[in-house]
Structure 1
Amino acid sequence: MKRTFAIGDIHGGLKALLQVLNKLEVTDDDTLIFMGDYVDGWSESAQVIELLITLSQKINCICIKGNHDVWCQNWLETSVVKPLWYLHGGKETMDSYEDFSKEQKQQHIDFLKKMPLYYLDAKNRLFLHAGFTAMQGVENEKNTATFYLDRTLWEMALVADERIDKEHKRYPKRLLQYAEIYIGHTPTTNLKETEPMHAMNIWNVDTGAAFKGRVSGINIDTKEFFQSDLLPSLYPNEKGRN
């Protein structure tokens, strides 16, 4: 049986990602949709990208680009260290590339450059890192940075009245464009929730791996989810992003 999993933000937590992949018991027939932010936080960002490259050569993987991946790509291409990025996990990412050759870094640049900003499947389910603002959907978004920076989509879903269905005139028009929407970017742990969250027709699978949470993977058909251990327990000598 073919399965599709959405996997939330990883932020350099290779050990956590491996735990989730093992729990998913991934086969060659499965599809893995990674929701972005593979780097910046824990000490194995470069190693996460390396694993994603290897996985993509073996099974169907869709790696959505997150804001931290954009920042990492910019650094790899230009060697310019932006202070904001450096303070938000960039230092750890730079350290993780210390033993990587110029050729390996170029391979990572090529991989990052090819990452889509969103993915729409055959059942009209949308996957993107953060959100969108165009009422008519992602194809009409004028500022593509919105796809990896927006938080208003999730904020709107959280405050909307869940008692109304899609036929109601007050149902948010942005959400009517898609059967379901899967995002990362805004940790559910900000709301003291440790598991993937559901609001309206949006699923948020960022469960705070950048900080003190976990990496999560969810079966998008059954909604069964799997989680890693807490990241600080996997990297006891590190702080992650605080």
Structure 2
Amino acid sequence: MARTFVIGDIHGALKALEQVLGKIKPQADDTLIFLGDYVDGWSQSAQVIDYLMQLDKQYTCIFIKGNHDAWCESWLMGSLPDPTWIFNGGQATVESYAGLSPEQKEVHIAFYNRMKDYVIDTENRLFIHAGFTSMHGPAMERYEASTRWDRTLWEMACTMDRRIKKDSKLFPKRLLLFHEIYIGHTPTINYDVDVPMQGCNVWNVDTGAAFYGKLTAMDIATKKFWQSDPVRELYPDEKGRNR
């Protein structure tokens, strides 16, 4: 039976990505949905992008664009590097691109350009990097960047009073729009949790690979998940986004 996996934020950790895929052993008819933030943190950001492009030739892959990917895309297309980006893992990404030719960078730019802000599947499941603020869903967002930056959806889902029923006027309309919502962006280790977290119908699969956490892949049908080793153990001479 074909499976669908969601993979959390990678942040330049190619070794963790290879490890996780080795555990899930994707088959030809499986779908891999990557929730964004492929770059910034560990030393192999450009190499992660190369690897993802190869995966795209072997499997059905969906690539969501994260805020870090948008930063990198802007820089590759000629903008001055955002100082905030550089401070938040971008320097390692710049260094990872040092050995690539202009032609190789153009191929990467085309890949970034193809990334999606979000995807809704046939079962009304939403896959998005961060969240959305519109009561009418991400298609009606006033600012496109909200899909890459919003944390209010996750914060609301986490703090919902479970006594409030779905038919109550108090139940958040945003959570009624989709059967399930899968996000990254906000590391679960912020809550001292190193596995995927659920808040209402929202699943957070960013288990802190950029910092001292692990990279996670989850089967969306069974909710079984697989994880890499703690990423800092895979890159013992680096700090990632730890300071």
TM-score range, shorter chain: over 0.9
Cα gap change, 1:165 to 1:221, in 2 (>3 Å): farther
After the TM superposition, list the runs of 4 or more consecutive aligned residues in structure 1 that deviate by more than 4 angstroms: none
Give a deviation string over 1:168-193, Cα, whole Å, max 9, x none: 33221101000000000000000000
Whole-angstrom CA distance in 2 between matches of 1:41 and 1:210? 6
Partner of 2:228 in structure 1?
Answer: 228
Structure 1 residues 64-105: Cα deviation after superposition (integer angstroms, max 9, x where no partner): 000000000011111522211111111100111111111111
Question: SS of the residue aligned with 2:77?
Answer: helix
Superposition pairs for residues 11-160 of structure 1, below 5 Å?
A: 11-78=11-78, 80-160=80-160
Q: For the residues of structure 2 that align with 1:138 and 1:57, how far apart are their CA atoms?
A: 28
> Structure 1 vs Structure 2: percent identity of aligned residues?
57
Tell me how many residue pairs correspond in the alignment: 242
Match of 2:189 in 1: 189
Q: Secondary structure at the match of 1:78?
A: coil
Give TM-score, length-normalised by structure 1: 0.98
Contact 1:162 1:199 in 2 (8 A): no
Deviations 1:120-176 (A, max 9, x none): 000000000000011011111111100000000000011111243423332211010
Query: What runs of 5+ residues in structure 2 fail to find an aligned partner?
Result: none
Looking at structure 2, the residues matched to 70 and 36 of structure 1 have their Cα atoms a distance apart, in angstroms, of 10
TM-score normalised according to structure 2 size: 0.98
Structure 2 Cα separation of the partners of residues 225 and 165 of structure 1: 29
- The DSSP-based 3-state class of the residue aligned with 1:182 is strand
Q: CA RMSD in A?
A: 0.9
SS of residue matched to 2:171 = coil
